[in-house]
Structure 1
Amino acid sequence: MTTDGCVPIRSSIAIGKKVLVIEKRDHIAGNCYDYIDENGILVSKYGAHLFHTNEEQVWDYVNRYANWYNWEHKVVAKVEGDLLPIPVNITTVNKIFGLNINSEEEMKTWLDENREPYLNPSNGKEAALNKVGAVLYEKMFRHYTKKQWDKYPEELDASVLDRIPVRSNYDDRYFSDTYQALPEGGYTKLFDAILDHPNIKVVLNTDYFDIKDQVKGYDKLFYTGPIDRFFEFKHSLDDKLEYRSINFASETIDAEFFQENSVVNYPGNEVGFTRIIEYKHFGNQASEKTTVVKEFTTDVGDPYYPVPNAKNQTIYEKYKADAEALTDVYFVGRLANYKYFNMDQAFKNALDLFKALETTPESLIQEAI
């Protein structure tokens, strides 16, 4: 069960449906699962999840099930001993190049003079060069991409690096959306509230594929796992869909804080991990010690991210055709759609699906969602 699955579930029960949630893991909330660790700190088991959106419908929906506090997320990267803002902004460029840019106009001029223009970037490398030029590409994106995806940018679709924001001012927020917040008490509490209804039954520690022959008589099935597994890898005899997983190395530090920021990226190849997260920063938590987590991406383990390139897209299109031929099964979320979704996009994807499927009067649908 993922973020994506909970939304149509809760919306459906609001118009009289009964729902069975089958969850492979021993907890709800999918990759958003968080808990209080031995240091009394709220940590996320599967990496930090930051909520940001410009979608009023999504923002209204999530506020039904939790109180939220403002959190404008900031990320820094450790480059040659310096901590530099990400996204690239005036401060980033000044520190790396020893410049004294101090206006938006000067920054735009610098970017225009240093980037390598590509009208339609064909891969991640061209997308990054088009945005920031060769030096910043090498120092901040090339090796990080290799660690994250086990592929260099030229081996990935342009969309992977094209979504990297670049600022022409001093704004060091990672996102610029209207709503940027975190749920009070964590995401598990949020999803617990969504699932708290007598018409919803949750079964944990159960793999759907172990019991699928027993799951009968349903009106609709919402599947949020890897799409190729649903179809028993029928199109993957020669080339399989690629996914990336993450190994999380958690450590207790006997100090008030370990780093100055919640997230510090390590874009160079001098270390094997991509970033260090210090969860104590989120929500200004208090504890005598602190918890830090290093993230190592890998091909082994639970799939987290689809790997976007032409080969994988060709394979996915075959599974997509199989999925569209089904009349009572719906594929929701990152793994089922083989597409990266931000959290708000995952909610919107599910809400849009619910609205498209239901023939209930519009007034009741709006009440449900």
Structure 2
Amino acid sequence: MKNFLLVGAGFSNAVIARELAEQGHRVTVIDQRNHVAGNCHSERDSETDVMVHIYGPHIFHTDNERVWNYINRFGEWMPFINRVKTISQGAVYSLPINLHTINQFFGKTCSPAEAKLLIESQADMSISDPQTFEEQAMRFVGKDLYKAFFYGYTKKQWGVEPKELPASILKRLPVRFNYDDNYFAHKYQGMPKEGYTAIVKNILNHPNIEVRLNTAFSQDMKAKFDHIFWSGPLDAYFDFELGRLGYRTLDFEVFRAEGDYQGNAVINYGDENVPYTRISEHKHFAPWEQHAKTICYREFSRLCEEKDIPYYPIRLVKDKALLKQYVDKANKETQVTFVGRLGTYRYLDMDVTIKEALETAEHIKEALASNQVLAPFYVNMDV
């Protein structure tokens, strides 16, 4: 039996904690905040009684049946389809770009085949191997749709010109030649009936797990535990010795109203001159509930500073160079394993986070069974 310390009480460490606790190990989970679930934390607003995603919207979607079955062990999930709208140049459109978006934008009544030909006529076919975000968008939808739906939003979200961003950020450009406006294309989609925090609390509810909130990590803790799982920022573990990795953070302008403010859970604002990226209305994330009042978040993106909560790793050239140095440093560690979005400096959806946590726990169990040294990383950290 081992004595493990898990730093951070989000999905990654909650899943690993549960898997190890069920094997009979003693597990202590600490978090410097006053709640579990990390940035997925949700709680009811005292004024409206709406379940609010405190750190911004989280919609669960996956094709991974194992992950879906796993999270359904720990609470009731309700059907939820995310139908995103965007306001651009004074009009409201559906995202991702679909047949309705195309017809509305160009003032046409194209069939699917006609729409494909129209988009091909707009696309910049001279770009054979897109290297930047801008080239990727121009290659697949052309200048007009790019400017309307991607340019302004992306510039606000990342704080740089889209031509400075890698094409990988726009990994694939979903353009649908039908009227499907489901933002995600995954088999399983849903929302926890009682919020994400309740799910994580249930995962952590095991006699071998002790949770300590309002508790920051300190170096003297190392001597009290056999091994540490670190889900905080990778550079923070080393006290930012080599410098700080780049992140974007979010500011939320919260406001309340009577009735229904915007009629939809998420509306993006594509125009560059609108300072916020989107407005989320949280009552619409729980359509099975009824509320007389509503609460909304205007979302602003900016560079993460020292006291801010990191959200999205930037991973531009200088960040990748610094990341490689931290990975080299981490690979020399023998008492810590780095996990999750912050610990591995990658953008991960919730389902991938849970999948990797389950796989990491399997590697840990196998290593312990054969008396192997636990590795600093159980994911590919090639930069």
Distance 2:181 2:152 in 1: 22
Which amino acid letter does the alignment assign opposite residue 301 of structure 2?
Answer: T
Which amino acid letter does the alignment assign opposite residue 36 of structure 1?
Answer: R
Distance 1:353 1:131 in 2: 37
Shift of 1:102: 2.3
Shift of 1:232: 2.3
Aligned residue in 2 for 1:61: 70
Shift of 1:119: 3.6
Instruction: Please show how residues 342-357 of structure 1 align to structure 2 within 5 Å.
Output: 342-357=349-364
Shift of 1:93: 1.3
- Per-residue CA shift, 1:135-181, capped at 9, x if unaligned? 11111111111111111211112111234422122110110100001
Choose from 240, 262, 270 the match for 2:273: 270
Query: Residues 143 and 152 of structure 1 are in contact (CA less than 8 Å); yes or no, is this contact kept in structure 2?
Result: no
Shift of 1:73: 1.0
> Is 1:30 aligned to 2:38, yes or no?
yes
Distance 1:71 1:96 in 2: 27
> Is 1:338 aligned to 2:342, yes or no?
no
Shift of 1:292: 0.9
- Per-residue CA shift, 1:40-98, capped at 9, x if unaligned? 10011000101000111111111110111111111010112221111111111111111
Aligned residue in 2 for 1:288: 292
What TM-score results when the alignment is normalised by the length of structure 1?
Answer: 0.92
Instruction: Please show how residues 288-327 of structure 1 align to structure 2 within 5 Å.
Output: 288-299=292-303, 300=305, 301-327=308-334
> Is 1:79 aligned to 2:88, yes or no?
yes
Local SS of the residue matching 2:223: coil
After superposing on structure 2, the runs of 4+ consecutive aligned residues of structure 1 that deviate more than 4 Å are none
Query: Residues 115 and 134 of structure 1 are in contact (CA less than 8 Å); yes or no, is this contact kept in structure 2?
Result: yes
> Structure 1 residues 67, 303: CA separation in 2 closer, same or farther (over 3 Å shift)?
same
Query: Residues 222 and 228 of structure 2 are in contact (CA less than 8 Å); yes or no, is this contact kept in structure 1?
Result: no
Choose from 117, 122, 132 the match for 1:109: 117
Unaligned runs of 5+ in 2: 1-7, 370-383
Aligned residue in 1 for 2:249: 245
Distance 2:121 2:266 in 1: 31
> Is 1:328 aligned to 2:332, yes or no?
no
Instruction: Please show how residues 127-138 of structure 1 align to structure 2 within 5 Å.
Output: 127-138=136-147
Shift of 1:215: 3.6
Which amino acid letter does the alignment assign opposite residue 282 of structure 1?
Answer: F
Distance 1:273 1:68 in 2: 31
Query: Residues 133 and 163 of structure 2 are in contact (CA less than 8 Å); yes or no, is this contact kept in structure 1?
Result: yes
Q: Percent identity?
A: 38
- Per-residue CA shift, 1:106-152, capped at 9, x if unaligned? 22222222122434321111121122111111111111111111112
Local SS of the residue matching 1:142: helix
Which amino acid letter does the alignment assign opposite residue 89 of structure 2?
Answer: E
Query: Residues 157 and 310 of structure 1 are in contact (CA less than 8 Å); yes or no, is this contact kept in structure 2?
Result: no
Shift of 1:184: 1.2
> Is 1:186 aligned to 2:195, yes or no?
yes
Query: Residues 160 and 308 of structure 1 are in contact (CA less than 8 Å); yes or no, is this contact kept in structure 2?
Result: no
Shift of 1:204: 1.0
Distance 1:6 1:260 in 2: 35
Local SS of the residue matching 1:216: helix
Local SS of the residue matching 1:358: helix
Size of the aligned set, in residue pairs, is 354
Shift of 1:243: 0.5
Query: Residues 125 and 161 of structure 1 are in contact (CA less than 8 Å); yes or no, is this contact kept in structure 2?
Result: no
- Per-residue CA shift, 1:184-235, capped at 9, x if unaligned? 1110110110111121111111221xx2213424232111111111122233
Which amino acid letter does the alignment assign opposite residue 234 of structure 1?
Answer: E
Aligned residue in 2 for 1:364: none
> Is 1:226 aligned to 2:229, yes or no?
no
Shift of 1:10: 0.8
Distance 2:193 2:201 in 1: 13
Shift of 1:291: 0.7
Aligned residue in 2 for 1:7: 15
Distance 1:33 1:169 in 2: 35
Distance 1:81 1:265 in 2: 12
Unaligned runs of 5+ in 1: 362-369
Distance 2:44 2:274 in 1: 29
